[in-house]
Amino acid sequence: MLKDKVVCVTGGAGFIGSHIADRALRENARKVIVVDNVIASRQKNLRQLLADKRVVIVPGDVRDVDFITPIIQKSDIVFHEAASKLVASLKNPRTDLGTNIVGTFNVLMAAKGSDTHVIHASTGSVLGSCDTAMKEDFHPRPSTLYGISKLTAERYCVFFAKEFGVKVSILRYFHVFGPRQDYYGEAGVINIFLSRILRN
């Protein structure tokens, strides 16, 4: 799927984004453009990429439409991972709104009229909380600002796909964990639990 493609990963210095960049290289992408403002991510997540000449690391923010538009337009596939996280949204809801909604809108506008495929990272938080099992068709009822902003972004994705023919896929991540995740942060519940078990 990624062979010989120009792949852009927004939020590419983050835990998930950096792994996507790794995978794109393993699948022989022609070029991997890593975009990140490095506010909620870590430069060290990109160390393994620096020696590969196919990688271009571009500091910047998806909220800046003039910055992000040309990058999206020259990409075949965009993994849109840039987001304000759940905990950050509690501390600064305006950043949450700007990154998750406006940033996504900017990416979609840039992809409009092109052949770019946007793969949008959403979250289980769009569904809210429930005491019973959630089926695939569970109606979203977000209970946090983060969930609201991510559901709004999903709806923009669906609208742009139907109205303008933008190629969009939406992935809802639930409790992702693995290497390079921050064990000591306020998110990533599985890694937090594991780190506490290891510390008794």
pTM for the whole thing? 0.90
- Identify whether the C-beta of residue 69 lies closer than 8 Å to the C-beta of residue 109: yes
Question: Average of pLDDT values for 110-132?
Answer: 93
Query: Looking at residue 73, what is its pLDDT?
Result: 97
Question: What class has domain 6-198?
Answer: alpha beta
CA distances from 74 to 17, 116, 155 (A): 19, 8, 24
d(CA 7, CA 77): 5
Q: 24 is written with which tokens?
A: 């794109």
Residue 188 has pLDDT above 80, yes or no: no
At what angle are helices 104-111 and 65-73 packed, to 10 degrees? 40
DSSP letter (8 states) at residue 132: S
In this predicted structure, the answer to whether residue 198 has a pLDDT above a threshold of 90 is no
Write out pLDDT tens, residues 35-79.
999 876 678 888 899 899 999 999 999 999 999 999 999 999 999
Q: Is 168 left (phi over 0), alpha (psi -120 to 50) or beta?
A: beta
Q: Which is more confident, 176 or 171? A: 171
DSSP 8-52: EEETTTSHHHHHHHHHHHHTT-SEEEEEE--SSS-GGGGGGGTT-
- Where in the sequence numbering do the catalytic residues fall? 146
Q: What is the separation of C-alpha 160 from the centre of its chain, rounded to a whole number of angstroms?
A: 18
